[in-house]
Structures are given as C-alpha cells and as structure tokens.
Amino acid sequence: MCANSISIDEEILEEIDEFIDDDRIKNRSDAVNFLLSRALSSTRVRRALILAGGKGTRMRPFTYEIPKPLIPVHEKPLVQHIIELLRKNGIKNITMSIGYMGDRIQSRLGNGSDLNVRIEYIVEEEELGTAGSLHLLKEKPDRSFFMFNGDVLANIELHDMIHFHRKNKGLATIALTAVDEPSRFGVAKLEGDKILEFVEKPEPGKEPSKFINAGVYLLEPEVIDYVPEGRSMMETDVFPRLAKEGNLYGYKFKGQWFDTGTHEAYEKAIKGWRDIE
C-alpha cells in the first residue's frame, strides 16, 4: 500500500456509490471529494447576510402594516424559512440588513436564540439596494459567505453549492433555478457553468436559457470591493463586472423555489411550499 492510499470498508463504498449521478458526480472519486467537501464546508462558510430592508411595495396593502420578511408562510415568518435552511446546513451566524419597519423584525426574531442561531442587525437608514448594505457590515468577512434576498423561498443543498463554488474558484456563485416562462425574468446566458450575462425579460422563444437568478449568492470577501458607495444593486452594478472578468458562476439546483414578490406568487408559495425539515 502506498503512503497516500486509504482503506475504506466495502459497505461504506457502496453508500458512497449511491451519490454518483452521472451529472456533477460521475465516479467514485468525485463522490468521495463531494462528501469530504460537504463535511468540511461548515468550517469554510460560517456566515450569511439576509437582505430584509425593502418596503415590499408590490405586496401592498399587506406591507403597509407588516414588513415583508414577516409575512407568514405556513404560520411562520417568510424569513424564518431562510433561517431554517441555513441552520439545517450548519450556518448559524446570520446578519440581517433591515430598514423599513426593522424594529418589528428585531422584536420578532431577537438575537435568534429561539431559532438556535445568532442574529445581528445592520440598519439601512435609507434604502441601499441589494448591494449597498455590504458596506454596513461591521467587519469585512474573512471567508466565503452567503447572501439571501429576504423574499425568496428556496430549498438548496448549500453544501453542494459550496463544493461547486470552490471547484470553480470564482468570486461569486449565483443559485439558478429553471422556470417554465423565463421571459418574465432576467435570464442567465451561460457558457458551461460560467454566467456571461443576464438578459432582462427577453422575448418568448428568444431566451438564452431557462435559468433565472434564485436570489441566493455565495460570495468571496473581495466582492465587497466591487460595490459602489450608497445605493447599488448586485444585479446591475456588481454581477456584470464579475461576469466580464470571468468570475461569475451559476449553480443550477433542482430543489424547491418560490418567488413571493407579488400577490399571485405569494398564493402559489403558500399552496406549494414544503417546509424545511
């Protein structure tokens, strides 16, 4: 036996082989790498930022009296489903960017102890968009971190997304979900796993793919240097620059995903969403 070899019981090898899917995991070596990466990922990614500062204008009149992150889905605040996904994947350090009726969010969630996580808050005195709040972080992250739009319901295998991100060595990875009518969204133009650009609401039949931005990002700390001061958007101010440099990747996942940005979408989410277990 050479010095670099290891012995694995046949029974364990059979379990490892069950992860081979002929897609991302093509053989036993890929499966072992995936499982080791998943086991170690909680030490690589420890923090998430949830954007919860918007006014939720498309959900009025509900959001005249309740901030959108607290709108209920299956008797839980919308944002709690995101927190439960993070907790399930071992990520318990959460920063929440709040603004509009932020005091109600803080009052409801507190420091996160009731949900077995740790929540700290940064306050947007004025709306900063989907990127600007990164400059409010009390200290710059020293490793990869997740960012979630606070109005999505998604069930993603975050450990797999971390493995994908590290394998590609880009600065940012966007979770992509396939939809039946992509022309209603910004659609990813891809070259393999690399995102070249997003085409906003293309004509039906002329979409570059069926994949859209799912509102979940895995970012390296360097991405903060791409964010302009003041109000700015990941979608228009940051991602295009990263894509031009070849540093933006798309992680295609097959789990549940619901937008809750409109009354119609919210109704579909209530009917179709299956809670995180």
Beta-carbon contacts of residue 265 (< 8 Å; ≥ 6 apart):
258, 259
Is position 268 annotated as part of the catalytic site? no
Q: Is 109 helix (H, G, I), strand (E, B) or coil?
A: helix
Alpha helices for the chain (secondary structure H)? 10-17, 28-44, 62-65, 78-88, 102-109, 129-132, 158-168, 239-244, 263-272
**Going along the chain, which residue ranges are E strands?**
47-52, 72-73, 76-77, 93-98, 118-123, 145-149, 152-154, 172-178, 186-191, 194-200, 211-219, 248-252, 257-259
Q: Which two tokens stand for residue 267?
A: 């109704």
- Which run of H or E residues covers position 46? none
| From 201, 244, 252, 271, the catalytic residue | 201
Distance of alpha carbon 154 from alpha carbon 203, whole angstroms: 26
What are the catalytic residues? 201
